[in-house]
Amino acid sequence: MLLTLDLGNTSLFIGVCDDGKVIDTYRTSTNIHKSSDEYVIIFKDLLGDYINKIDGVICSSVVPCLNYTIKEAIKRLFKIDALFVGPGLKTGLPIRIDTPNELGSDLVCDCVGALNKYGNSTIVVDLGTATKILVIDKNGAFVGGTISSGLKISIEALAGKTQNLTETSLEMPKNIIGKNTRDCINSGTVIGTKLMIEAICKQMEEEIGYPLKRVVTGGYANVINNFNDFIYDFNLIHHGLYVIYLKNQGGKEHE
């Protein structure tokens, strides 16, 4: 079995993969102050009986200061050197942007997963700490996208910068015209984000010149639950990590 780790700014999203399928997932808060010993305990508590069945680990991280901590926890618990997505690993994804090294490993994994499952000409909408909209063209290359504030960040910023508005739970309101403060905030934030995504996707198709499939993923993908003509794939990044692991045959570098 393969353990796939998506180490994000908000949460550590853990996947257990077997024979090409994601069979279980877990989430825990990202905490840069925890030690490797504490992460060992977290993994033990979450993974339970899977602990003795894991024979490979691969991680996508956008929190570099935690990489060593996670590596040490994995090595101690599984006696395995975890792979980290980055230079030296083969992904199979052509990256056609100004500075390829700026592309986060999580976005690489999203695109690899989408390319493998849904093919070329695909938009990936990743609703995480930030909202990312990624474009894979008809040749199977990542050609760019957009980044904006995530749902949670938007509500936190609104509450933090105003006197009379407080942070509220993220929910899709029934109507766009809110009748109370909570619904008004959710309408502006959640429905506003939905409409923004739909408009951006439409304009991306116009700009690239052909139709694009649309896939939604990420930790907040369940909040906007009424997209039309979008595929929901909550475990897309784990599939991408699995594909990258196989391409590298357990860690051997390829030319």
- Hey, how many other C-beta atoms are within 10 angstroms of the C-beta on 186? 22
Smallest Cα–Cα separation from 7: which of 70, 51, 101, 49? 70
Strands of the 142-149 sheet, one edge to the other: 142-149, 130-136, 122-127, 213-217, 231-232
Distance between CA atoms of residues 138 and 249, nearest Å: 27
Smallest Cα–Cα separation from 61: which of 76, 74, 44? 74
- Per DSSP, the three-state class of 185 is helix
Distance between CA atoms of residues 222 and 200, nearest Å: 20
Residue type, 184: C
* Catalytic pick among 18, 37, 81, 106: 106
Would you give the DSSP letter of residue 189? I
Report the b/e string of 30-60 with b at 16+ CB within 10 A.
beeebebeebbebbeebbeebeeebebbbbb
49 counts as catalytic: no
Helix axis angle for 67-78 and 36-47, nearest 10°, is 60
What amino acid positions are annotated as catalytic residues? 106
